[in-house]
A and B are shown apart, each in its own frame.
Chain A
Amino acid sequence: MSDQNDPMAEIRASFFIECEELLEALQDGLQELDDGSEDPETINVVFRAVHSIKGGAGAFGLETLVRFAHRYETVLDEVRNGSLHPDSEAMKLFFLAADQLSDLVRASRDDTPLPEETSEELLGRLDALLGDEGGSEEVEPADFTPMGLSLSLDLPDLDAGPALNRITVRFKPEQELFATGNEPQMLLRNLAALGEAKIRCDMSDLPLLPDLAPETPYLQWIVELETEASEPEIRDIFEFVDGLCEIEISGGEEDSAPLAESAPPPPAPPPEVPKPAAVSPPVAAPTGSAPVASPPAAPAAAAVADKDGEGDGRKGATAAKSVVRVDLERIERLVNLVGELVINQAMLSQSLDEAGLSPHSDAMNGLEEFQRLTRDIQDSVMMIRAQPVKSLFQRMSRIVRESSAAVEKDVRLVTEGEATEVDKTVIERLSDPLTHMIRNAVDHGLETAEKRLAAGKSKAGTVTLTAAHRSGRVIIEVADDGAGINRPRVQEIAVNKGLISPDVQLSDSEIDNLLFLPGFSTASKVSNLSGRGVGMDVVKTAIQSLGGRISINSEPGKGTTFSISLPLTLAVLDGMVVNVAGETLVLPLNVVVETLSLGPDDVQMLRPGAYVVRVRGGFVPLYDLGVMLGYRSSRKTGEGSIVLLISLEDGSRAALVIDGIQDQRQVVIKGLDDSFYRAPGIAAATILGDGQIALILDPADIIAGMGHIRGSDFMFSERMTANE
């Protein structure tokens, strides 16, 4: 509770959020440098990111972070001023240091142990870049004095002993003093505040009026001070004007010069003396093409902006975009409220419908408008939660660096579509599965350098990570240019592990999909990366829990691509509402290819319990959804049954027998608490217009539940295997 009221805690939290942004900018900048960027602003951005992290860290007394950032920054500064030209090794080190910095930031944020050993090692290597003269420059301890939590004013201690010093200060400003915005009057006042002061102005240098140069100071002041302050405290007052004035401090001696009781107001900064250059009329522009002089205030900004060479406004545009930070909880609340609104609207729609109103009545027209608005509001709210996948991709670039180092492969990561926006929760929950996929690509997908060279490929392998929006979904692909899936080997493993029977004939795509079977692992030897018992089945489960699907495409010798298709949001779904055995169910609309009504010869029995339906020349396995879900025991596969043909992105298809179609509409997804039971084939639930709950089906899980091997041997399972 105290946390909420503590402004320091708030700023601290905000500092760590800012750090994430800075770390992102750092990654970007390093990447640009690594790609050969010559833009001086790139290194500036990199430097500033580390510098700002250091600055904030200092304010919170995060000494380890300050120390690391400082030494990292020192090296970057050398790059910035052109005295260090990083080679590819140095760039690698910079990336590692950025990773370490990010670890330190997170450890500081979460108050977990700081990875100091790595820091030392990296700092040693960073220092080495500086050469001998650089050495390890330690931060002065004074530089990171934590900012005090108290905000009380540090007023001079008035209770200090009675020891009064009599001090005389002679102060003669030089012309430059005025150019810095310092004011003699202010300095004298500050001095006077230290005790009893007698100030007199010595005007003896003042020339006669005709000789007076307006910007030259002629005056000096002599201050007799009776004070408890020591000489250093007095010097402190003149800290900012050190070198801009003559200053003499002497202990208690009487000056012989005549005294004036109080000082006349000092001739404050050469008053509003018109600065000749500033107001002189623009020199006639002979060419006529020169711009006409603009009002005095504006050109300053314009001129300087140009001077900084940022005229393109690229960075400017981002910096100028105004942004509001909102507590995620508030957005969650809004999302929930909009969800309720959608449900409410569905209820209203249902009751108006039941009331038998004409579709052309005012009420129905109004409802239509209401529906449109609801949808717009919903889309807008979802937009708030969307964020670019960039941060996720950056984390992945680190995974590539680390995993490629671990298996001693040279790997390049290419990313595309970083700006693609996805729901924040989806991004967060993608991190683990994507990490695993990237590691897999580096470890298993890409060949060793020798094998690559032997195959006539470049020594360095490439992993490509792309994101794109495609027909209302987000597609994320992890592609490697490795050897492709070794299908005979995969099949052999699956047989050896008893996952498939030895005599089964599988298509290429079916073999590839064996990778997703629980308990399958291709690693023939345990490397640093694999062998932790995490397989692609875990990745698949994670993707499915996000309402997504994953598919593989592999070409021998060319590489393997994993495609993840995800909904844009986890909050709503375009669904087809159907009836099965008295229950209402929702299927994601995007998997429904078409609806069919069974004709007399459409259904063929393959063997008892296994049926296929003929769809335009091809055969698709046919299942009764009611039986599959355990809602009824006898199959309804007869003539006239309604069938939904569903298709997944990996090409698998199925025909599902249902009792009737209610509607196609957007439903609000409600998570199911699966803490003690997770139903197979069920992704989530929604609340219908009548307040009842309808389950949302997970078509991929349903198809998977029909048995792993499809096409040739799809045993109909009366009960889907529940514990996979």
Chain B
Amino acid sequence: MSEHGQTSDLELLTFRVADQEYSLDIMSVREIRGWTRTTPMPHAPDYMRGVINLRGTVLPVMDLARRLNLPSQETNDRNVIIVVKMNGTLTGLLVDAVSDIVAITEDDLQIPPDISSDPQLSVVRALTVIDDRMIRVLDLAAVVPSRSDEAA
């Protein structure tokens, strides 16, 4: 895994959502697949795009822009669904496009300033700068809600 004896602490998958750059720990990413029509779920929260057929299983897909309270874009063929695994279940995250995979160390991560009023930031675990671009590292557990969270 390590190159030149230097270990990178983590690899990030970076992607664009509503013209902003975000990233996820690559370890939680299972696959990336092209956009396909979702079947809407009745009365679902607006960030729930619906479900798709992922090789015979039903995959719930979340519109990440809506989830992050960003203006939702029209979906087009370039959109992709990042399939992530969280607490043993698979979820699809609809994003504009995937950019890159970057390797960084924990030292490159900065704790975001505490602006708790910003709901967007509560799902951002850390910030990092790559090629002068600020990239938000998402806290997947906060992005993908669990039913118990809602019940509580």
Residues of A within 8 A of B (CB): 336, 339-340, 343, 583, 628-631, 670-682, 685, 687, 691-695, 719-720, 722
Contacts and interface: CB of A to CB of B under 8 A. Distances in A.
23 contacts: A336-B56, A343-B56, A629-B42, A671-B58, A672-B51, A673-B58, A673-B90, A675-B87, A675-B89, A676-B150, A677-B44, A677-B45, A677-B60, A677-B147, A679-B41, A680-B43, A682-B41, A682-B42, A685-B51, A692-B39, A693-B39, A693-B58, A722-B43
B37 interface: yes
A674 B42 CA distance: 13
A676 B147 contact: yes
B26 interface: no
Contacts of B44: 677, 679
Contacts of A680: 42-43
Contact of B147 (A672, A678, A691, A692): A678
Contact of A695 (B41, B52, B144): B41
Interface string B123-145: 00000000000000000000011
A712 B57 CA distance: 42
B42 A676 contact: no
Contacts of A695: 39, 41-42
Contacts of A336: 56
Interface string B61-89: 00000000000000000000000000101
Nearest to A337: B56
Contacts of B51: 672, 685, 693
B146 interface: yes
B147 A675 contact: yes
Nearest 10 interchain pairs by C-beta: A629-B42, A693-B39, A679-B41, A685-B58, A670-B58, A676-B145, A679-B42, A630-B43, A675-B89, A630-B42
A584 to B, nearest CB: 8
A719 B57 CA distance: 28
Contacts of B150: 676
B2 to A, nearest CB: 27
B53 interface: yes
Given A343-B56, A631-B42, A687-B58, 8 more contacts: A583-B40, A630-B43, A673-B60, A680-B42, A687-B53, A693-B51, A695-B42, A720-B42
B108 to A, nearest CB: 31
Interface string B33-51: 0000101111111001001
A583 B60 contact: no
A107 to B, nearest CB: 27
B19 to A, nearest CB: 27
Contacts of A694: 39
A629 B39 contact: no
A687 B146 CA distance: 25
The bracket for how many chain B residues form the interface is 20 to 34
A680 B51 CA distance: 15
Nearest to A672: B58
B136 to A, nearest CB: 22
Contacts of A631: 40, 42
A593 to B, nearest CB: 23
A691 B36 CA distance: 10
A340 B55 CA distance: 10
A720 B42 CA distance: 9
Given A583-B39, A677-B48, A687 B87 contact: no
Contacts of A583: 39-40
A628 B56 CA distance: 28
Contacts of A671: 58
Contacts of A674: 147
A676 B146 CA distance: 4
A340 B45 CA distance: 31
B144 A720 contact: no
A681 B150 CA distance: 19
A340 B56 contact: yes
Contacts of B144: 676
A692 B37 contact: yes
A628 B150 CA distance: 23
B46 to A, nearest CB: 11
A681 B42 contact: yes
A502 B91 CA distance: 46
B86 to A, nearest CB: 9
A722 B44 CA distance: 9
Given A629-B42, A630-B42, A682-B42, A675 B146 contact: yes
A685 B144 CA distance: 21
Contacts of B87: 675
Given A678-B147, A691-B53, A693-B51, A673 B41 contact: no
Contact of A629 (B37, B43, B48, B91): B43
Nearest to B144: A676
A701 to B, nearest CB: 11
B66 to A, nearest CB: 14
A682 B42 CA distance: 8
A670 to B, nearest CB: 5
Given A675-B147, A677-B45, A685-B58, A693 B53 contact: yes
Contacts of B146: 675-676
Contacts of B40: 583, 631
B87 to A, nearest CB: 7
User: Which of B53, B59, B150 has the most chain A CB atoms inside 10 A of its CB?
Assistant: B53
Contacts of B53: 687, 691-693
A206 B111 CA distance: 104
Contacts of A691: 53
A687 B55 CA distance: 10
A693 B50 CA distance: 10
A486 B41 CA distance: 40
Nearest to A722: B43
A120 to B, nearest CB: 40
Nearest to A697: B42
Nearest to A693: B39
B43 A679 contact: yes
User: Which of B43, B60, B149 has the most chain A CB atoms inside 10 A of its CB?
Assistant: B43
Interface in B82-111: 87, 89-91
A682 to B, nearest CB: 6
A674 B145 CA distance: 11
Contacts of B149: 676
A474 B56 CA distance: 28
A514 B87 CA distance: 37
A384 B81 CA distance: 38
A204 B150 CA distance: 98
Contacts of A693: 39, 51-53, 58
A343 B55 CA distance: 12
Contacts of B59: 673
Nearest to B146: A676
B28 to A, nearest CB: 15
A530 B33 CA distance: 50
A687 B41 contact: no
A680 B43 CA distance: 8
A629 B40 CA distance: 10
Nearest to A674: B147
B9 to A, nearest CB: 29
A340 B53 CA distance: 12
Nearest to A691: B53
A91 to B, nearest CB: 46
A631 B48 CA distance: 14
A692 B37 CA distance: 8
B43 A720 contact: yes
A340 B37 CA distance: 21
Nearest to B57: A670
A5 B62 CA distance: 42
User: Which of A336, A685, A694 has the most chain B CB atoms inside 10 A of its CB?
Assistant: A685
Contacts of B89: 673, 675
